[in-house]
Amino acid sequence: MDKIKKDKTFIVLALLLLLLVVVGATYAYFAAQKGSGGSANINVEAGTTDSLTFTKGNPITIDANSDNFKSGEPNQEDDTTVSAHLVANNGNYTATETYNVYLNFIQNPFVYTKPNSPELILQVIAPDGKPLENLEDKSIKYVSVEDADGDENPIKGFDITTATGLIPIKLTEEISAEPSDNETNGKADETWQIKIILINHDYDQQVNTGKTFNAQAIITHSILPNIKVETTNITNNSMKVIATISDYEDTIDNVSFKINADDDNNWHEASNDDTNVYSYTFNDLTESKKYEVSTKIAFADEEIVKVIEESITPKKTLADACPNGDNLAECVISLYNKNNNYEDTKLYYHDASLTDGANDLSYRYTGGDYQLTDLAKQSYSSINDIIKLNCNGSPFTNSNDYCESNAKYTLSYNSDIDNLTSLKQTLMKAIADGYLCDNNIKNYVCFGDECTNNKDNLYRIIGAFKVGEKYQVKLVKADEAGKDLLGEDGDFASADAKTPYNTYLGNHNEFPRYTWDKNGKNVWSESALNTQNLNVTYLDKLGDWANMIAMSEWQVGGMTSQNGNEQGVRTAYENELADSKTPLPHQAKIGLMYVTDYYYGATKDRWSLPRYVSTLQDYRLAVWDNWTWIGDDFWFITPRTEIVTDAFRALTFGGVTAYLTNYDAGHAVRPTFYLNSNVRYVRGEGTSTDPIILG
């Protein structure tokens, strides 16, 4: 009996001892997983502890001032190192751990002073002494750049001219330490060298003079989150700052903001608006003043600080909202977020809350190019009140009506003017006289080498559309394409089938026309307009600019004439592109506008109109409220489903119908495409005379 008790006692003690060993090892394991930025103790065997520690680097700062950043001065540079140290304290095994290296851009206000010419270069030397040529973030390109010296040794590294946020340099990098009786004495050290170079080029970089770059290299055991800081709802005296934290599962300890205001330089704790979204609103700010906005995010054993700049003025154009080098699609979104007042930006966000909207999470430009001035508003309420059309001696109700011959325009404010024969000529006269203004929708883009002398390179932003997980900007040619771009093969119909009606607002003197499909079918994949004129001839004519265009999926299943013509825009969108569509995707770089791209180009109060009905109460009433109207007939990409010989077209006077694809007189063609998601905004207000320049 005593022996049994002794045996039981021995077993219990053994179990307790085993439990203590397991608990001790488990505790040490979890402590290692949570270690970050400082040290992590890893207990692999009971009674034996390995140690992983880190040496942090100094901040990297580059100050481009008028003394050091001018002709003849050397490049500006600063560097730092970060290190990982692993000690194996057991003589019987090799210790192995992982760590991560990041570069946090605290403040980077630099821009490209010349498109696609890097100014800030990141160089990284790995622990093996070799330069790193690939980052975890593949969008940051490794480049070779000549500076002003132009010597035989170009500067090689990563182009970070406009980079922001937290970029991973190396993730889950493995470090191993041999047993302690090895010649390494059980220790391993790995050091990363990180250098930033501001290149002094042989051209004017004045726009970057007076700017300061700040960054911090981080080495840590943890995977750090993605952090996006932006300003929204900017008025004349306030702004809201939002920090969005993603790809992070651990706890965020604190998020706070501050600005460099004379009477308020304190950190303000942010409110948690949504999962991993934090915000704070600053009030009583000074109009037109530029503020530095600092964000501090604390988690685990790390603290990340980010600084951005913002001026306290309502944003109305991409130039107001975006610095040189920002992603173009994000610029469009940022403009809406910074000022979601439609009257300023002419943008709508099409989510579920927008009545009759597409509900596709797109950001679309909406409204008419021409507006009444304050002078005109004293006496008139619409453009049709100012501009009057007579055709063969008969007065027309709407100035956008077309006249086969003997068109004559008059201006209500000056009855002596009687020599105006085109709508464009009349509009220019009313603008010169101070009764109308143009460029109300600032979405012009120069897609070509220059647009000052070549208006044929002008395109316009339809909007920013969500494609997969990213947004892409969609462009349409501002004017119809000539035969110099589309060629005289494929679906070419006539070099000048007709002189455009008196309503034509474009810049061409020749007016080539194309059939949608000369064989009379309405299958877009078989159309020579698609396969030859647009996606061979036109693409070739674009040269290197074609590299900015994304291969895209076009929905070409079509819709019925009733859904496309006689219902409101939401019904048309539902049947053309949404749940009730006829699914038929087609892959190509170049397409045409969808019917609903045209419909949504008009102001929101027009969206309930049918597209074309006999009562005339249709989209013909919307032309002065729709920037996509050009006063001429042109094809859409969308076929008519109930008749296999028809496709949709925009009519000269603004309505929409479906007609024969092999209509022998043909219609104009306006190439349409999505830009790659990495295309950048460089400069430009977005007007026809100061279009957006891409990089």
Task: Report how far apart, in Å, the C-alpha atoms of 355 and of each of 74, 336, 378 are.
Answer: 58, 17, 32
Give the mean model confidence (pLDDT) for residues 589-596: 97
Give the mean model confidence (pLDDT) for residues 300-304: 78
Specify the pLDDT at position 671: 98
Specify the pLDDT at position 592: 98
Distance CA 162, CA 323 (A): 9
Residue 3: pLDDT over 80: no
DSSP 518: T
Q: What is the pLDDT of residues 403-461, one digit of tens each?
A: 777 788 999 999 888 788 889 999 999 999 999 999 999 999 999 988 988 999 999 99
Specify the pLDDT at position 186: 79
pTM: predicted TM-score of the whole model, two decimal places: 0.78
Specify the pLDDT at position 150: 61
Give the mean model confidence (pLDDT) for residues 132-150: 85
- Identity of the residue numbered 112: Y
Asked whether the beta carbons of 302 and 220 are under 8 A apart, the reply is: yes
Residue 263: pLDDT over 50: yes
Return all residues near 457 (Cβ < 8 A) that are at least 6 apart.
Answer: 446, 447, 448, 449, 450, 451
Distance CA 691, CA 695 (A): 13
Cβ atoms < 10 Å from Cβ of 1: 5
Distance CA 264, CA 291 (A): 12
Residue 43: pLDDT over 60: no
Query: Is the torsion defined by CA of 202, 203, 209, 211 positive or negative?
Result: negative
More confident residue, 249 or 247: 247
Burial of 24 (0-12, 13-18, 19+ CB in 10 A): middle
Tokens 């706890």, residue?
A: 251
Q: For residue 337, what are its two tokens?
A: 């977020």
Tokens 């992070």, residue?
A: 248
Specify the pLDDT at position 1: 45
Asked whether the beta carbons of 461 and 445 are under 8 A apart, the reply is: yes
Q: Which of 225-239, 501-515, 605-619 has the lowest mean pLDDT?
A: 605-619
Give the mean model confidence (pLDDT) for residues 79-89: 92
Tokens 């303000």, residue?
A: 268
Return all residues near 219 (Cβ < 8 A) that are at least 6 apart.
Answer: 37, 54, 55, 56, 57, 82, 83, 84, 99, 100, 101, 102, 192
Specify the pLDDT at position 668: 95
Residue 557: pLDDT over 50: yes
**Size of the chain in residues:** 695
Q: Which one of 242-251, 634-643, 646-655 scores highest in mean pLDDT?
A: 634-643
Give the mean model confidence (pLDDT) for residues 106-121: 87
Distance CA 92, CA 104 (A): 39
Residue 582: pLDDT over 70: yes
Residue 375: pLDDT over 90: yes
Q: For residue 420, what are its two tokens?
A: 């105006």
Residue 13: pLDDT over 60: no
Residue 47: pLDDT over 60: no
Residue 383: pLDDT over 90: yes
Distance CA 292, CA 137 (A): 27
Specify the pLDDT at position 178: 83
Asked whether the beta carbons of 608 and 570 are under 8 A apart, the reply is: no
Q: Which of 54-63, 318-327, 474-483, 607-616 has the lowest mean pLDDT?
A: 607-616
Specify the pLDDT at position 211: 92
Asked whether the beta carbons of 166 and 244 are under 8 A apart, the reply is: no
Specify the pLDDT at position 499: 54
Cα 633–Cα 634–Cα 635 angle in degrees, nearest 5: 140
Q: What is the pLDDT of residues 265-275, one digit of tens each?
A: 899 999 987 77
Return all residues near 634 (Cβ < 8 A) that are at least 6 apart.
Answer: 480, 649, 650, 667, 668, 669, 670
Q: Which of 150, 153, 162, 155 is nearest to 116 (CA)?
A: 162
Residue 518: pLDDT over 70: yes
Asked whether the beta carbons of 86 and 188 are under 8 A apart, the reply is: yes
DSSP 270-337: PEEEETTEEEEEE-SPPTT-EEEEEEEEEETTEEEEEEEEEESS---SHHHH--TT-BHHHHHHHHHH
Q: What is the pLDDT of residues 495-517, one digit of tens each?
A: 664 555 688 899 888 888 999 99
Return all residues near 538 (Cβ < 8 A) that are at least 6 apart.
Answer: 481, 485, 486, 487, 590, 671
Residue 57: pLDDT over 80: yes
**Could you tell me what percent of the chain has a pLDDT over 70?**
89
Burial of 274 (0-12, 13-18, 19+ CB in 10 A): exposed
* Res. 116 pLDDT band, cuts 50 70 90: confident
Q: Coil, strand or helix: which one is 687?
A: coil
More confident residue, 132 or 51: 132
Asked whether the beta carbons of 222 and 232 are under 8 A apart, the reply is: no
Q: Which of 337, 21, 100, 75 is nearest to 205 (CA)?
A: 75
Cα 197–Cα 203–Cα 208 angle in degrees, nearest 5: 55
Helix (H) or strand (E) holding 346: none
Average per-residue pLDDT in the chain? 87
Residue 292: pLDDT over 60: yes
